[in-house]
């Protein structure tokens, strides 16, 4: 429902989903464009602001809730997926999106990522990957190359292989997996819309350069390329293709058909009836 794309239909505009708070990000940060993509996606879907909840952890990208005008919960490092799961499980009618970065999502939050993928609650995780801890001024993250020597904390390089977020998501059973690049907010918006519409847990990996601590990431503009295949619903096929990809292919890898996890049903008993079970 692209109501904002035509002049004759009045619908929500991306700006309606922005707060009046100025981001604290550095000039040139990729997250500005991701935020633009997010608000564009919200407008495209015409989400009701009061029925939409964005949850984040800690880090540069996790500041996004304050920059939107929907309900938000800016939580603590690594726990955003668990908090968001609580929101969606308790109130299935709400639209739930989660924003975070590579450190928040794959390091301290790694266990929650694994289990969010396998649990398959119907919510959308937008993880902005700049392969560095930006907010703490430039340390290696779980997606940083083993030989990146620019951090004072790991002057010889982290020395361990980076995590491949998309492959990890597929291995853990995520139901929708895509990759975008912040430079193209329209494409980011399209991926988010597809992810939100797809039932189950959607992971949208977005390459979002940190030009402050990883200035060489400006070169990603020429490194990224279309993934080049149609989305599959077969996780094995998606995994084979992802492993052949160089980590810079953009598109939808998997649109699977696992049933979302959503326990609960209507009440069948009064508390008085339950209490009777204790009577001698």
Partner 1 sequence: MTVDSVTIALVGSGGAGAMTAGQMLLDAAANVGWYGLMSRTTGPQIRGGEAAALVRLSPTPVHGPGDRFDIIIAFDWQNVERFAAELPLSEKSVIITDPSQGEVPAVLAASGAKQVELPIKDLAGRIPGGRVNMVGLGAVAAIVGLPRAGIDAVIQKALGKKGDAAIQASNAGIDAGSKEAAGWNLGLELAAPNKEGATRWNISGNEAAGLGALKGGVKFCAAYPITPATEILEWLAPNLAKTGGKLVQAEDELASIAMCLGASFSGVPSITATAGPGLSLMTECIGLGVASETPVVIVDVQRGGPSTGIPTKSEQSDLNIAVYGLHGDAPHLVVGPTSIGDCLFTTQWAVHLAEALQTPAIVLSDQAMGQSRAIIDKPADAPHKANRLLATDLGGEAKYKRYADTESGVSPAAIPGMPGGEHTADGLEHAENALPSSQASDHQKQLDKRLRKLTSHDYGDAWADIEGEGEIAVVTWGSATGPSREAVRRLEAAGTKARLVAIRLISPVQPAKLAAALDGVSKVLVVEQTHGAQFHKYLRGHYDLPGAVSVFSRPGPLPIRAREVHETLLSLI
Instruction: Give start and end residues of each alpha helix (H) in 91-197.
Output: 102-103, 110-119, 165-172, 185-197
Please tell me whether residue 154 binds partner 1 under the rule CB under 8 A: no
Query: Binding marks (x or -) toward partner 1, 7..46, rule CB under 8 A?
Result: --------------x-------------------------
CB of 117 to partner 1, least distance (A): 11
- Closer to partner 1 by Cβ: residue 92 or 231: 92
Query: Binding marks (x or -) toward partner 1, 64..93, rule CB under 8 A?
Result: -xx-xxxxxxxxx-xx--xxxxxxxxxx-x
Backbone phi and psi for residue 254, each to the nearest 5 degrees, phi listed first: -140, 135
Query: Is beta strand 71-74 parallel, antiparallel or unpaired with respect to 176-181?
Result: unpaired
Site residues (CB under 8 A) for partner 1, limited to 92-121 = 93-94, 111-112, 114-115
Interface size with partner 1, residues (CB under 8 A) = 54
Selected range binding partner 1 among 47-55, 146-154, 189-197, 233-241, rule: CB under 8 A: 47-55
Output the DSSP codes for 142-171: TTS-TT----SSSTT---SPPP-HHHHHHH
CB of 107 to partner 1, least distance (A): 14
Please tell me whether residue 197 binds partner 1 under the rule CB under 8 A: no
Selected range binding partner 1 among 63-71, 151-159, 174-182, 185-193, rule: CB under 8 A: 63-71
What is the C-alpha to C-alpha distance for residues 253 and 227, in angstroms, rounded to an integer? 8
- Closer to partner 1 by Cβ: residue 122 or 187: 122
- Closer to partner 1 by Cβ: residue 51 or 145: 51
CB of 157 to partner 1, least distance (A): 30
Which DSSP category does 258 fall into? P
Please count the CA atoms within 13 angstroms of the CA of 57 that sit on its side-chain side.
Answer: 25
- Closer to partner 1 by Cβ: residue 62 or 143: 62
Please tell me whether residue 265 binds partner 1 under the rule CB under 8 A: yes
What is the C-alpha to C-alpha distance for residues 261 and 110, in angstroms, rounded to an integer? 20
Selected range binding partner 1 among 4-12, 53-61, 125-133, 169-177, rule: CB under 8 A: 53-61
CB of 68 to partner 1, least distance (A): 8
Please tell me whether residue 153 binds partner 1 under the rule CB under 8 A: no
> What phi-psi label fits residue 228: left (phi over 0), alpha (psi between -120 and 50 degrees) or beta?
left
Long-range contacts of 145-150 (CB under 8 A, 24+ apart): 150/213, 150/214
Which DSSP category does 254 fall into? E
Of 202, 198, 162, nearest in space to 179 by CA: 202
> In a 10 Å sphere around its CB, with 0-12 CB exposed, 13-18 middle and 19+ buried, how is residue 54 labelled?
buried
Helix (H, G, I), strand (E, B) or coil at 255: strand
Of 270, 272, 234, 276, nearest in space to 253 by CA: 234
- Closer to partner 1 by Cβ: residue 2 or 275: 275
Interface ranges with partner 1 (CB under 8 A): 21, 48-55, 63, 65-66, 68-76, 78-79, 82-91, 93-94, 111-112, 114-115, 263-271, 273-275, 278-280
């Amino acid at each position: 429902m692209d109501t904002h794309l035509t002049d004759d239909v009045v619908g929500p505009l991306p700006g309606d989903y922005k707060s009046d708070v100025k981001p604290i990000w550095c000039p040139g940060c990729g997250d500005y464009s991701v935020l633009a993509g997010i608000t564009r996606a919200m407008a495209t879907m015409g989400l009701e602001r009061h029925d939409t909840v964005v949850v984040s952890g800690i880090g540069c990208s996790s500041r996004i809730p304050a920059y939107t005008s929907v309900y938000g919960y800016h939580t603590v490092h690594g726990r955003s997926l668990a908090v968001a799961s609580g929101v969606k499980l308790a109130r299935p009618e709400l639209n739930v999106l989660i924003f975070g970065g590579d450190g928040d999502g794959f390091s301290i939050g790694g266990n929650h990522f694994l289990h969010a993928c396998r649990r398959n609650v119907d919510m959308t995780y937008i993880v902005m990957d700049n392969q560095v801890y930006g907010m703490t001024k430039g340390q290696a993250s779980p997606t940083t190359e083993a030989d990146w020597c620019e951090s004072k904390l790991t002057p010889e390089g982290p020395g361990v292989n980076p995590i491949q977020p998309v492959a990890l998501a597929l291995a853990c059973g995520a139901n929708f997996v895509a990759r975008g690049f912040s430079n193209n907010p329209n494409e980011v918006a399209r991926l988010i819309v597809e992810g939100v519409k797809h039932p189950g847990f959607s992971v949208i990996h977005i390459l979002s350069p940190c030009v402050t601590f990883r200035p060489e990431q400006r070169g990603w503009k020429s490194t990224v390329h279309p993934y080049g295949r149609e989305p599959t619903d077969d996780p094995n096929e998606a995994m084979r293709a992802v492993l052949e990809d160089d980590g810079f292919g953009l598109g939808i890898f998997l649109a699977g058909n696992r049933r979302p996890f959503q326990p609960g049903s209507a009440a069948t008993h009064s508390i008085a009836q339950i209490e009777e079970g204790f009577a001698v």
